Amino acid sequence: MSLDSVTNFALSFTSLLLNILTYAIIIRALMSWFNPSPENPIVRFVNEITDPILVPLSRLVPRIGMIDISPIVAIVLLNALQWMLESSLRG
C-alpha cells in the first residue's frame, strides 16, 4: 500500500466524518425549532454526537438575543478544520 493511497483514504475518511458531523449539527438546529421528545432515539443520537462540539461552544459564543449561533460557529470551525487537514495532507 503506497503512501498516496493511505493519504487519500485518510482524507476521504476524515472528510466523511466531518460531513456527517456537519449534517448532524444542521439536523439538531432544525430539530430545535420543533422541540421533539428527548426520549426519541433519533434525537438522542443526534444530541450525543453533537454535544461534544456544541456544548462547549455554546458557553463561549454569546447568544444574539434568543438566537444561539453556536451551530453556525461549529460548522465554520469544522469546515476550517477540514480545509487545514486537506492542505496539510496534500501539501
The confidence band for 1, taking pLDDT boundaries of 50, 70 and 90, is low
Q: d(Cα 43, Cα 26) in Å, to the nearest integer?
A: 13
Which of 32, 25, 33 lies closest to 54 in space, CA to CA?
Answer: 25
User: What's the whole-number average pLDDT of the chain?
Assistant: 91
Please write the tens of the pLDDT for every residue from 40-54. Answer: 999 999 999 999 999
Examine the pLDDT at 29 and tell me if it is beyond 80. Answer: yes
- To the nearest whole percent, how much of the chain has pLDDT over 70? 97
Give pLDDT, residue 53: 95
Q: d(Cα 68, Cα 66) in Å, to the nearest integer?
A: 7
Q: d(Cα 62, Cα 70) in Å, to the nearest integer?
A: 8
